[in-house]
Chain A
Amino acid sequence: MEHLSKRILVVDDDQGILDSFEVLLGDRYDLVMTDNGYEALRIIETKPPRLVFLDIKMPGLDGMDVLKRLRKDQKKVEVVIITATHREETEREAKSLGAIDFLMKPLNIVEVERIASQILS
């Protein structure tokens, strides 16, 4: 049943970040990972996750583009932004597009685990 799935999508072009999520959440959740925005949209379409950790700065379709597309398509998926550089207006824009949280790298594992458990419990 889709609504009971424990699928989390992580979108980041950095292998280190993907590896971090794998060791942090991989043993408890159904973790799907990709390094680009196009693939992310495809996954959301075909295997909808309940939570997406989305990097902003990526080549091609970046995090904000993905967020806009999701908003446009009225996808019911929770999105948490993960970014290395903090800019208030980016955070404001992301939140106005429906992002539920805005996490700064280096990530705090406690916070990541809290969000995952909150959304997927």
Chain B
Amino acid sequence: MDPKKEPKSIRLQTRLILYSTLVILLVMALTIILVEKRQSETIQEEAQKRGITMARHLAAVSTNALLTYNYIVLEQNAERVALEEDVLYVIIHDKEDKVAAYSQHGEKQGMILTDEVSQKAIRASELLIQPILHGEKEIKVLDISIPVYIKESQEKWGTIRIGLSLEGMSSQILKTRLNLLLLGGFAIVLGILGSIFFARRITQPISGLVGTTIAAAKGDLDQVIDIHTRDEIEELGKNFNHMIQQIRLHREELENHLREIISLKAYTDNILSSMTNGLITADSEMKVVTLNERAEQILGKKKEESAGFSMARVLGDRHPLYGMMAETFAQDRGIFHSEIELKKNGEPMWLTGSTSVLTDGEGKKIGVLAVFQDITGIKALEEKLRQTDRLAALGTLSAGLAHEIKNPLSAIKTFVQLLPRKLGNPSFMEKFNTTVPREIDRINHLVEDLLELTRRRVHPFVALDVSYLILQVLDLHGEEMKKKQIRFEDHLDRTLPPVEGNSDTLYRAFSNLVINAIQAMPNGGVLRISSAMEGSKRPELNIIFRDAGIGMDAETAKNIFNPFFTTKDRGVGLGMALTHKIIEDHRGTIEVMSEKGVGTTFVLVLPVINS
């Protein structure tokens, strides 16, 4: 509201004084008017009564003179009464209405007065009072006329008239009015003074109250109102004190909350700026809200130039982060991308990032958040590591291959070099015929295994009974196991459904596992093989090979499926690597658990043919 248009405020004290003065004035005026009226009436009545009394008295003393037409007496009577105060004239009319006596006007004796007042007076049969204006000065006069009758007769013998001046009465009334006005004025002044005094008494505490509330409104809440008027104002003061106290408490509470919020914000800001991850948040309209320092560095955008602008404008509408955030908000679910490719200054840059929906306290969706990390360096390192790993693997493979090939090659070379010298030696030739082809076969097998390891699955798959296949393998190695005092503990379930696979390669895989167990138990032991069905939705076969052999350390167990992996204690050829590959070709898995000195367990899972 425009303060200029606000009506001018009038102070309560002024208003109280004004109102009470007005009331006093009204009451006093009314009183004065009433009293004056009453007084005037009384004065008038008194004058009238006096006139009438004088007229009656004159009539009584003049009756005989009228009966006898004794004009001298009548004249004397008239002159005597005319001496009375306020009596202007005395007229006595005889039976014939002629003037019998006229004070101060003896010349009018015997005349008949024709003026209207005299005529009315003469004709009146009873007391008649006529207010008239008398003489040239037009003095207010009461003309009182009384007809004179004698007892036992209806005949009128004359008329007595007294002209009573009202001037005296008027001055008396004026005097009374003056007195009343003085009294009234005095009363009004007293009344106004009283009203000022009481208005002050009433408004002073209110003014105090107003002053305090203004101070409180300006923020000074240390105000206490101390009023002891024992009325509503005191009550108001007490309530105000209580209210101020409540406000003070609430303000302190609010200030505490504010302090907490500020410190929490500082804490959050600190976290955001010290985060090694980039963080960006957007509101429901996909406008940037927060961008921490790391995000500024990664995205190459300044917070001041981004906050409040649309993500599409800040990052570009094809930016993967923008896409992720928009999708997260639209579909109400977080997204994780392990690798996000960006271009920064023309150079490829890799991020890993995740998004989540931001909700308020009531679970209402209010925005979206993305946290991301620059993994360009890590990617480069990984690539380098992969290369190193590849080289190391290649090194291991080459070394293993060299070892595996050079031994048979060495044997073949020796035999061939000796051939010219020992051609005629039958025992040499016999040894030659067994050793050289065997060693050549070894190399051949090695090459075959190597090819098998790198070949894509080409073998035809048929329904196979796994238990039968395993028992066949054990049959082949039965003699060697017996020789090495290894006992087979049979826990194979013969009722299991078939698996889909290739009998040659699976046979080879099982065979490798049995050979591994035999090698692990040079001093004999128990090889326990069990099989069982697992899972109902996607039925699988669980096949477990458990030996009580020398076991492996964690490093060996971890690398057991790597080709030619070798430790000081142990070297593996391609057997276990091939086993792993064969099981994977059958959409199965193979895991190893081992403890040095306790034994090794291989757990195979193969999918069952869906009936």
> In the bound complex, do residue A57 and residue B571 qualify as a contact, i.e. CB atoms below 8 Å apart?
yes
> In the bound complex, do residue B571 and residue A17 qualify as a contact, i.e. CB atoms below 8 Å apart?
no
Partner of B409, one of A12, A57, A85, A106: A106
Partner of B415, one of A12, A14, A23, A60: A23
> In the bound complex, do residue A20 and residue B415 qualify as a contact, i.e. CB atoms below 8 Å apart?
yes
> In the bound complex, do residue B431 and residue A16 qualify as a contact, i.e. CB atoms below 8 Å apart?
no
What 1/0 mask marks residues of chain A from 87 to 121 whose CB sits below 8 Å from any chain B CB?
00000000000000000011101000000000000
> How far, in angstroms, from A66 to B435 measured CA to CA in the complex?
28
> In the bound complex, do residue B410 and residue A16 qualify as a contact, i.e. CB atoms below 8 Å apart?
yes
B410 surroundings in chain A (CB, below 8 A):
16-17, 20, 84, 105-107
B145–chain A nearest beta-carbon distance, Å = 173
> In the bound complex, do residue A16 and residue B422 qualify as a contact, i.e. CB atoms below 8 Å apart?
no
The number of chain A residues touching the other chain, given as a range, is 10 to 19
What 1/0 mask marks residues of chain B from 502 to 543 whose CB sits below 8 Å from any chain A CB?
000000000000000000000000000000000000000000
Chain B: which residue is nearest A24 at the CB level?
A: B414
Contact residues of A between 1 and 43, Cβ < 8 Å to B: 12, 14, 16-17, 19-20, 22-24
> In the bound complex, do residue A22 and residue B431 qualify as a contact, i.e. CB atoms below 8 Å apart?
yes
Q: Does B276 contact A (CB under 8 A)?
A: no
> In the bound complex, do residue B406 and residue A105 qualify as a contact, i.e. CB atoms below 8 Å apart?
yes
> How far, in angstroms, from A23 to B428 measured CA to CA in the complex?
7
Partner of A16, one of B402, B428, B442: B442
What 1/0 mask marks residues of chain B from 412 to 438 whose CB sits below 8 Å from any chain A CB?
111101100010000010011001001
Partner of B431, one of A17, A23, A85, A106: A23
Q: Does A78 contact B (CB under 8 A)?
A: no
A16 surroundings in chain B (CB, below 8 A):
407-408, 410-412, 435, 438-439, 442
A59 surroundings in chain B (CB, below 8 A):
569-571
A60–chain B nearest beta-carbon distance, Å = 7
> How far, in angstroms, from A112 to B411 measured CA to CA in the complex?
13
Q: Does B67 contact A (CB under 8 A)?
A: no
Partner of A84, one of B403, B417, B570: B403
A12 surroundings in chain B (CB, below 8 A):
407
Chain A: which residue is nearest B413 at the CB level?
A: A106
> In the bound complex, do residue B418 and residue A57 qualify as a contact, i.e. CB atoms below 8 Å apart?
no
Q: Does B568 contact A (CB under 8 A)?
A: yes
> How far, in angstroms, from A110 to B442 measured CA to CA in the complex?
25
Q: Does B399 contact A (CB under 8 A)?
A: yes
> In the bound complex, do residue A20 and residue B403 qualify as a contact, i.e. CB atoms below 8 Å apart?
no
> In the bound complex, do residue A14 and residue B407 qualify as a contact, i.e. CB atoms below 8 Å apart?
yes
What 1/0 mask marks residues of chain B from 582 to 605 whose CB sits below 8 Å from any chain A CB?
000000000000000000000000
> In the bound complex, do residue B418 and residue A23 qualify as a contact, i.e. CB atoms below 8 Å apart?
yes
B22–chain A nearest beta-carbon distance, Å = 124
> In the bound complex, do residue B569 and residue A57 qualify as a contact, i.e. CB atoms below 8 Å apart?
no
- In the complex, how many residue pairs between chain A and chain B have their CB atoms under 8 Å apart? 69
> In the bound complex, do residue B418 and residue A105 qualify as a contact, i.e. CB atoms below 8 Å apart?
no
For chain B, what secondary structure do more than half of its interface residues adopt (helix, strand, loop), or is it mixed? helix
Known: A57-B566, A59-B570. A23 touches B403 (CB 8 A): no
Partner of B407, one of A17, A23, A60, A62: A17
B428 surroundings in chain A (CB, below 8 A):
23
B570 surroundings in chain A (CB, below 8 A):
59
A85 surroundings in chain B (CB, below 8 A):
399, 402-403, 406
B403 surroundings in chain A (CB, below 8 A):
57, 84-85
> In the bound complex, do residue A23 and residue B406 qualify as a contact, i.e. CB atoms below 8 Å apart?
no
A78–chain B nearest beta-carbon distance, Å = 21
> How far, in angstroms, from A23 to B427 measured CA to CA in the complex?
9
> How far, in angstroms, from A62 to B422 measured CA to CA in the complex?
33
A108–chain B nearest beta-carbon distance, Å = 8
Contact residues of A between 44 and 72, Cβ < 8 Å to B: 57, 59-60, 62
> How far, in angstroms, from A22 to B411 measured CA to CA in the complex?
11
> How far, in angstroms, from A16 to B407 measured CA to CA in the complex?
7
> How far, in angstroms, from A73 to B222 measured CA to CA in the complex?
99
B319–chain A nearest beta-carbon distance, Å = 53
> In the bound complex, do residue B413 and residue A107 qualify as a contact, i.e. CB atoms below 8 Å apart?
yes
> How far, in angstroms, from A7 to B570 measured CA to CA in the complex?
30
B56–chain A nearest beta-carbon distance, Å = 174
> How far, in angstroms, from A59 to B572 measured CA to CA in the complex?
10
B559–chain A nearest beta-carbon distance, Å = 16
B438 surroundings in chain A (CB, below 8 A):
16
> How far, in angstroms, from A60 to B414 measured CA to CA in the complex?
27
> How far, in angstroms, from A12 to B403 measured CA to CA in the complex?
12
> How far, in angstroms, from A44 to B491 measured CA to CA in the complex?
45
B410–chain A nearest beta-carbon distance, Å = 4
A42–chain B nearest beta-carbon distance, Å = 16
Chain B: which residue is nearest A58 at the CB level?
A: B571
> In the bound complex, do residue A17 and residue B411 qualify as a contact, i.e. CB atoms below 8 Å apart?
yes
A84 surroundings in chain B (CB, below 8 A):
402-403, 406-407, 410
B418 surroundings in chain A (CB, below 8 A):
23-24, 109
> In the bound complex, do residue A19 and residue B435 qualify as a contact, i.e. CB atoms below 8 Å apart?
yes
B415 surroundings in chain A (CB, below 8 A):
20, 23
B568 surroundings in chain A (CB, below 8 A):
62
> In the bound complex, do residue A19 and residue B411 qualify as a contact, i.e. CB atoms below 8 Å apart?
yes
> How far, in angstroms, from A19 to B427 measured CA to CA in the complex?
12
A107 surroundings in chain B (CB, below 8 A):
410, 413-414
26 residue pairs A–B, Cβ–Cβ below 8 Å = A12-B407, A14-B408, A16-B407, A16-B435, A16-B439, A17-B407, A19-B411, A19-B431, A19-B435, A20-B414, A23-B418, A23-B432, A24-B414, A24-B418, A59-B571, A84-B406, A84-B407, A84-B410, A85-B399, A85-B406, A105-B407, A106-B413, A107-B410, A107-B413, A107-B414, A109-B414
CB-CB nearest 8 A-B residue pairs = A16-B411, A106-B410, A20-B414, A84-B406, A105-B410, A105-B406, A14-B407, A106-B413
Q: Which of B's residues lie within 8 Å of A, judged by CB?
A: 399, 402-403, 406-415, 417-418, 422, 428, 431-432, 435, 438-439, 442, 566, 568-571
List 6 additional contacts besides A16-B442, A105-B407; criterion CB under 8 Å: A16-B408, A17-B411, A19-B431, A84-B410, A105-B409, A109-B417
